[in-house]
Structure 1
Amino acid sequence: MYLNCHTYYSLRYGTIKPEQLLAIASENGLQTLALTDINSTSACLDFARLSSKYKIKPVLGIDFRNGVQQQFILIAKNNTGFQNINTYLSGFLHNSELKIPEIAPELEDVFVIYPYIHKKNYQLKDHEFLGIKPQDLNHLKFSKWNALRNKLVVLQTVSFQNKKDFNTHRLLRAIDNNTLLSKLPKSEQAQETDTMLPYQELCDTYNEFPELLENTASILEKCRVDFDFSQENPNNQRSYTTSEALDFRLLRKLTYDGLHYRYKKPGERIFTRIEKELTIIEQKGFVSYFLINWKILKYARSKNYFYIGRGSGANSIVAYLLRITDVDPVELDLYFERFINVFRQNPPDFDLDFSWRDRDDITDFIFKRFKNTALIAVYNTFKFKASVRELGKVFGLPKSEMDMLTRGKYDLKQLDQLSQLVIKYSKYIQGFPNYLGIHAGGILISEKPIHYYGATFLPPKGYATTQFDMVVAEDIGLYKFDILSQRGLGKIKEATEIVAYNHPEKPPIDIHDIKRFKQDARIKYLLKNAKAIGCFYVESPAMRMLMRKLRVDNYLGLVAASSVIRPGVAKSGMMREYILRYRDPERRKDAPKILLDIMPETYGVMVYQEDVIKVAHYFGGLTLGEADMLRRGMSGKFRSREEFMKVKQQFFDNCKNSGKPDELVEDIWRQIESFAGYAFAKGHSASYAVESYQSLFMKAYFPLEYMVATINNFGGFYSTELYVHEARMNGGIIEAPCINHSFTQTVIHGKTIYLGFMFLQSFESKTIKRIVKERNENGVFLSLDDFIERVPISIEQVSILIKINAFRFTGNNKRELLWEAHLKISKHVAQEPAVTLFKTERVHYKTPELPSTALENAFDEIELLGFPLCNPFHLLENPSINPLRAKYLETMKEQTVTIEGYLITTKNTKTTSGKIMHFGNFLDRDGDFIDTVHFPPVAAKFPFRGKGIYNITGKVMIEFDCVSIEVTHMERLAVIEDPRYSTNPPPQPSTARNSYSQMLAKGRPKPEVIPVPTVS
């Protein structure tokens, strides 16, 4: 009897979860229920999936509204009607300027319900009805529609469950209207009576108008929308070619065609694996899934886009031969059943990583090449702290009080009533969907039109996006294609291009020659000595320390390290145990023999997701399907906690029945539980290791070019400053931006690196384009006058260039140039210079001699680049006389030392008791790394105070060849007063210039321009 029910996917309006709505309906004796969220289909598929659990027939539709103004309700008679409704709604969601009209469209297989408005004239068609609310019944007695009851239906709207939900609704409406609750208009709220009544009570309400109940029941009876949630048949595009049979023949051909590229002498093991995989891929209906991924990557290779195929798909030799991945699953003994097995219902998983510069073109290709395509939504939900601020504004709390509440530093009982309400309702709406966003990379390519499953909206990216998320998509058998982006691939690709212009004599680099890279001595050296700054996934302090502890110098060791570093292994205590067993073969004998037999490669330690499956299968006696269900349940990807708990119980029952000691079983379960949610699939780690090897190759052979590419792609784990430092440590001569040498991005010539204009704070991109264009067309700039005549520029913009010393080739002092620029450039907006027959003669002003110092240059660099180009230790107020350096620490184990370090990064974490502690990463005066540990008492007493040089005192600890300082005292050292604002007289001009030249790296550029390629 309910034709207009809302869940909380009626965003900032409804308050009921989809399953909760079904539970309420079941309690109230209903057998059929219509879900009609406001301009939304987000809940429809989940509602339909869950309805059988509550023995309720689901009816689907949409409540079409402009804001809160209800125009009409469309209800689907069947799947065709649902598709038609979705298509109609999507038209409005794709164009926000369109308003929903008062008159509903005539759509096939759709019922229309108009809300009854007294004295309004309606012209109803056969499929259209008037919805009568309980409060309309008195008006109805005196209306002409009382005689036309065959066109009337019950319209008891359901938006909330109780008084608390109604209050929540009003708060959500106030948030949506950005207004105080006290000023929320009645027109922006629902009726307090919009709740679900027991079936009999609803019938009693309409007992004078039994026809309305009959008409409503008739409509509900005629509606049936069915979806298959069994996942037995994928709903992705079924055929890549014209038929599934032809698809399989093509997949087989492409697989065997790829043999010569991957293997010189494939043996029986390879052919057996291929046939096994092809059989399962065909049996599970994933042939087109493989072919579509192959097509996407074939296009990428045609455009010379770099990519990495990762995820559990790396466990497939078919994927390897199709060049979807670069991981050889036979070499690594990867477990294909982790990817696809006959027991597994969930979809396969290829994560395709592209450069952040190339991903948009790949997405565009997919939308143009494949018919029924859409991005996947994510539900951005209300978070507690954000909700406190939103509700604080609604209740009119001052900012200071909201700050206090968000920090959590309060006694709830001591708060006033309004603050208590803010906390109460912030907790209540936590997890409510707030608005729809876009999944990081998920794309659907469906056999049926996307609107068969739901409406789509159009975010700023410009691609149709579903209103449901990836979990719902999987439930219905739509398996996403993951098209992701990262900067690591952009660095590698750009590095090869930089090598091509900086070393034209070198042959082209085959960055995919991974087998050669695995044997390369230079790469082994970088790995073993953790000299991996800038390299994908292996550059963080924690990863570099782990590589030193493991003495990693080979591919398999790096694959293991990529997963060992994950939180689960560390949390279970098995990271340390793995290191011990790795370094000491005798220690391996301490492992339980059964685990050592299951995982000999990792010495009986669970390192990969596959290990969970192996242990659950061989140790816990679960089937492969049950073992994978266990893994997915722990990783948060499984739907039913009830089914997961059954599998967990089965694990313990099997262990008990097989006579395994309780203590051993509990210990192994603890490892599984702490580990499974964070671990990588082995193929995923292997894919990461491939990209690590590619970046390590570039770092080993072309460190300067690779650092330039890293800088241009905005780094990785660290800030630009450290990558500039790393380039300097590798022999690079670092130059500030120069108008005759620099481009938008950083460029290199030989060993001289010119930082790009784009790194200058507040420097406009249009100005950069003008400079580069003018220089390319008419040659280098000869002076400040020449520059001003040729480039339209404001005084603010030219001041930035002068302060960063971009005119240093002139030999003139910066202060003199600034004085001159202010005299010659007006403050009005710069215009393009007019072309005239005769060159205007400029007035040459006699400027006073105004010296600047090297220290002033350093502070200008800090202001404009964010860091100085000189050694930061030169800026200390009291010059350091401490001789201790990082390289000496390895001989000072257990000694208390004091050393100075320039802060690079910090990592905050919590102890098991919940106290805050830190890990620090510093550079010493020579540019070498210092690692520090700050336990809670020290962390509280001597906190980090931002960027700068710190005096660090502590005990030198050495474990597994890794040196760190356990800090006992720390303070930040003072830097000199900014000389640009100092009242002290500056040094004489000659002294200033000499000082500056000493601080510059050797090989200062000459005024002549070195030919360089155009860089946009």
Structure 2
Amino acid sequence: MLLPFCIFWSSMDYMSFVHLHVHSHFSLLEGLPKIDELVRAAKKMNMKALALTDYGSLYGAIEFYKSARRAGIKPIIGLEAYILVGENTYHLILLAENEIGYKNLLKLSSLGHLENFGPNSARELVPRLTKEWLKTYHEGLIALSGCLEGEIPQLIYKQENYTKAKSAALDYAQIFGLDHFYLELQDHPDLPGQIEVNNGLIKMAEETGLPMVVTRDVHYLSFDDREAQDILTCIKSGRTINEPGRPSFVSVNRSLNSQEDIGSRFRHVASALENTVKIADRCNLELKLGKWHFPPVEIPEGKTANQILEENARVGLKELFKEVTPAIEERMNYELGVITKKGYAPYFLAVADYVKWSREHDIVITTRGSAAGSLVSYLLGIIDVNPLYFLLPFERFLNPHRPSPPDIDVDFADNRRDDVIAYVTQKYGADKVAQIITFGTMAARAAVRDTGRALGYS
């Protein structure tokens, strides 16, 4: 059972500061810490809340949410968005205040990846958002003005146009609301331009009444990790450590520092520290995990998915077995009982449908893995192997005492895979179909090779 956050946290516990701008290794080849390492470090520093704001994506959101909750740390889900303004791309921090905000983060992230994936200012391909999308999906989100790559800092420092920067800040405040947009002072005094930007933002806050927050653009846990993180960025860019003109932050402390440390440098803007706590207090996202949502399959009026599953299984029973023995009937009924009790009937019907469609359209397919142990899968035409003949156990595929769902692996001919994806997308809707990402890590040999290349060894 999940206990309410108020049992664990009160504002006095935050020690006057909460990190709201933090990257993990899901900021690919930019952030260094793994999720569990990040959470352990925060726990060691007695942090009671922490945000995750990886670049352009929510890859680590669920893992972070679970890990932080287990550690007694309040998770704040966010991302560092890329905002396309004219021909320029700027950074903006978005934090989910509640479930509505989280869903809007999901929507915005998807829009950026699917409809506006293009080059940023460094010519890297990134998921870019527009201000029009922010206007549509701003509810439940808290925005921070971002690092030096944000629109407002860029206007202050690079373009030296304070008036235009103030106008941009008021524009964001209008989009998100005066109490949902914050000017972001960053704790990077060694970064060229940061002090000038911070001073400009403080002046702007005094003139406009916009609230401020203090952040550190965390990319690793300890300052000792800075060289490793620098090598990581070289691997990403294909450049070497000693290459002239290469962007480097190796002299800038972007570690996860303590509340006391960061607070000691911003006593002159105490409200900006306090606002990090207030934001953490306001961000109360409760994710309902573990419940499965299957696409709506076609069910005749007056019928249920469970009934259709049994009917289709019995049709297959007559077609595939000359003689239906009591043992076969018992096995089918047992499997149907487990499947329907767990609510997986729509899943089996959906898989059977696209497998049938594939065969009807001469697409070579094969089903592999533990699904071969399911008689119901055989009766529906999902697999070609009779599990009873080979004495394959159903429980290897779907155990009534195990909470994990069934996993039916279907392989399609490479040259027709897109046809199957197009079919299920058209049938269930583009918002119901996704290609699931997997993340690989460098093996030892590859890590040594790429590190050596970044250090200038061939």
TM-score (norm 1): 0.37
Q: Which residue of 2 aligns with 1:92?
A: 112
Alignment CA distance shift 1:70-1:273 (3 Å): same
**Is 1:211–2:271 an aligned residue pair?**
yes
Residue type of the alignment partner of 2:27:
S
Is the radius of gyration larger for structure 1 or structure 2? 1
- SS of the residue corresponding to residue 62 of structure 1 reads strand
- SS of the residue corresponding to residue 209 of structure 1 reads helix
Residue type of the alignment partner of 1:23:
R
Provide Cα deviations, 1:844-882, integer angstroms capped at 9, x if missing partner. xxxxxxxxxxxxxxxxxxxxxxxxxxxxxxxxxxxxxxx
Contact 1:38-1:63 at 8 Å conserved across structures? yes
Please give the alpha-carbon distance, in whole angstroms, between the structure 1 residues aligned to 2:40 and 2:436.
28
Q: Which residue of 1 aligns with 2:11?
A: none
User: Deviation at 1:354?
Assistant: 3.3
Please give the alpha-carbon distance, in whole angstroms, between the structure 1 residues aligned to 2:323 and 2:62.
50
Alignment CA distance shift 1:391-1:244 (3 Å): farther
Alignment CA distance shift 1:153-1:186 (3 Å): farther
Q: Which residue of 2 aligns with 1:113?
A: 144
User: Matches of residues 904-919 of structure 1 in structure 2 within 5 Å?
Assistant: none
Question: Structure 1 unaligned runs (5+)?
Answer: 400-1016
Residue type of the alignment partner of 2:91:
Q
Provide Cα deviations, 1:814-864, integer angstroms capped at 9, x if missing partner. xxxxxxxxxxxxxxxxxxxxxxxxxxxxxxxxxxxxxxxxxxxxxxxxxxx
User: Deviation at 1:45?
Assistant: 1.0
User: Deviation at 1:221?
Assistant: 1.4
User: Matches of residues 177-256 of structure 1 in structure 2 within 5 Å?
Assistant: 177-183=237-243, 185=245, 187-189=247-249, 192-229=252-289, 231=290, 233-237=291-295, 241=299, 246-256=304-314
Please give the alpha-carbon distance, in whole angstroms, between the structure 2 residues aligned to 1:334 and 1:244.
35
Residue type of the alignment partner of 2:243:
K
Please give the alpha-carbon distance, in whole angstroms, between the structure 2 residues aligned to 1:306 and 1:89.
34
Contact 2:100-2:140 at 8 Å conserved across structures? yes
Q: Which of 390, 395, 400 matches 1:337?
A: 395
User: Matches of residues 97-496 of structure 1 in structure 2 within 5 Å?
Assistant: 97=118, 100=128, 105-106=134-135, 107-115=138-146, 117=153, 118=156, 119=162, 120-121=165-166, 122-123=169-170, 124-125=173-174, 126=178, 127-134=180-187, 135=189, 139=199, 143-146=203-206, 151-183=211-243, 185=245, 187-189=247-249, 192-229=252-289, 231=290, 233-237=291-295, 241=299, 246-371=304-429, 372-397=432-457, 399=458
Contact 1:65-1:71 at 8 Å conserved across structures? yes
User: Deviation at 1:87?
Assistant: 2.5
Q: Which of 30, 44, 53 matches 2:70?
A: 53
- SS of the residue corresponding to residue 242 of structure 2 reads helix
User: Deviation at 1:246?
Assistant: 1.0
TM-score (norm 2): 0.79
Alignment CA distance shift 1:90-1:307 (3 Å): closer
Question: Structure 2 unaligned runs (5+)?
Answer: 1-17, 121-127, 147-151, 157-161
Q: Which of 102, 116, 120 matches 1:82?
A: 102
User: Matches of residues 553-564 of structure 1 in structure 2 within 5 Å?
Assistant: none
Residue type of the alignment partner of 1:237:
P
- SS of the residue corresponding to residue 254 of structure 2 reads coil
- SS of the residue corresponding to residue 434 of structure 2 reads strand
Provide Cα deviations, 1:81-130, integer angstroms capped at 9, x if missing partner. 22222322333333433654796823221111103634432213322111
- SS of the residue corresponding to residue 358 of structure 1 reads helix
Alignment CA distance shift 1:304-1:183 (3 Å): closer
Residue type of the alignment partner of 1:337:
E
Please give the alpha-carbon distance, in whole angstroms, between the structure 1 residues aligned to 2:130 and 2:364.
52
Contact 1:39-1:65 at 8 Å conserved across structures? yes
Contact 1:248-1:287 at 8 Å conserved across structures? yes
Please give the alpha-carbon distance, in whole angstroms, between the structure 2 residues aligned to 1:287 and 1:85.
31
Please give the alpha-carbon distance, in whole angstroms, between the structure 2 residues aligned to 1:89 and 1:340.
33
Provide Cα deviations, 1:402-445, integer angstroms capped at 9, x if missing partner. xxxxxxxxxxxxxxxxxxxxxxxxxxxxxxxxxxxxxxxxxxxx
Contact 2:213-2:273 at 8 Å conserved across structures? yes
**Is 1:38–2:55 an aligned residue pair?**
yes
Please give the alpha-carbon distance, in whole angstroms, between the structure 2 residues aligned to 1:295 and 1:346.
23
Please give the alpha-carbon distance, in whole angstroms, between the structure 1 residues aligned to 2:438 and 2:299.
31
- SS of the residue corresponding to residue 213 of structure 2 reads strand
Provide Cα deviations, 1:489-508, integer angstroms capped at 9, x if missing partner. xxxxxxxxxxxxxxxxxxxx
Alignment CA distance shift 1:98-1:387 (3 Å): closer
Q: Which residue of 1 aligns with 2:26?
A: 9
Q: Which of 26, 42, 45 matches 1:25?
A: 42
More displaced 10-residue stretch of structure 1: 268-277 or 13-22? 268-277
- SS of the residue corresponding to residue 32 of structure 2 reads coil
Please give the alpha-carbon distance, in whole angstroms, between the structure 1 residues aligned to 2:244 and 2:224.
17
Please give the alpha-carbon distance, in whole angstroms, between the structure 2 residues aligned to 1:187 and 1:70.
17
Q: Which residue of 2 aligns with 1:484?
A: none
Q: Which residue of 2 aligns with 1:672?
A: none
Provide Cα deviations, 1:621-677, integer angstroms capped at 9, x if missing partner. xxxxxxxxxxxxxxxxxxxxxxxxxxxxxxxxxxxxxxxxxxxxxxxxxxxxxxxxx
Contact 2:83-2:131 at 8 Å conserved across structures? no
User: Deviation at 1:205?
Assistant: 2.6
Alignment CA distance shift 1:330-1:35 (3 Å): same
User: Deviation at 1:384?
Assistant: 2.9
Contact 1:71-1:102 at 8 Å conserved across structures? no
Contact 1:308-1:354 at 8 Å conserved across structures? yes
Residue type of the alignment partner of 1:22:
V
User: Deviation at 1:256?
Assistant: 0.8
Please give the alpha-carbon distance, in whole angstroms, between the structure 2 residues aligned to 1:375 and 1:344.
26
User: Deviation at 1:361?
Assistant: 1.9
Please give the alpha-carbon distance, in whole angstroms, between the structure 2 residues aligned to 1:54 and 1:76.
20
Please give the alpha-carbon distance, in whole angstroms, between the structure 2 residues aligned to 1:257 and 1:163.
66
Contact 1:174-1:184 at 8 Å conserved across structures? no
Contact 1:150-1:215 at 8 Å conserved across structures? no
Contact 1:149-1:211 at 8 Å conserved across structures? no
Contact 1:140-1:146 at 8 Å conserved across structures? no
Q: Which residue of 2 aligns with 1:731?
A: none
User: Deviation at 1:70?
Assistant: 5.2
Contact 2:50-2:75 at 8 Å conserved across structures? yes
User: Deviation at 1:287?
Assistant: 0.7
Contact 2:83-2:130 at 8 Å conserved across structures? no
User: Deviation at 1:235?
Assistant: 3.3
Using the aligned pairs only, state the percent identity: 24
Provide Cα deviations, 1:164-189, integer angstroms capped at 9, x if missing partner. 32111211222222222123647453
Alignment CA distance shift 1:146-1:241 (3 Å): same
Alignment CA distance shift 1:190-1:287 (3 Å): farther
Alignment CA distance shift 1:353-1:183 (3 Å): closer
Contact 2:296-2:428 at 8 Å conserved across structures? no
Residue type of the alignment partner of 1:11:
L
Provide Cα deviations, 1:739-785, integer angstroms capped at 9, x if missing partner. xxxxxxxxxxxxxxxxxxxxxxxxxxxxxxxxxxxxxxxxxxxxxxx
Please give the alpha-carbon distance, in whole angstroms, between the structure 1 residues aligned to 2:112 and 2:119.
6
User: Matches of residues 954-965 of structure 1 in structure 2 within 5 Å?
Assistant: none
Alignment CA distance shift 1:114-1:144 (3 Å): closer
Provide Cα deviations, 1:140-159, integer angstroms capped at 9, x if missing partner. 69724246565111122211
Contact 2:99-2:286 at 8 Å conserved across structures? yes
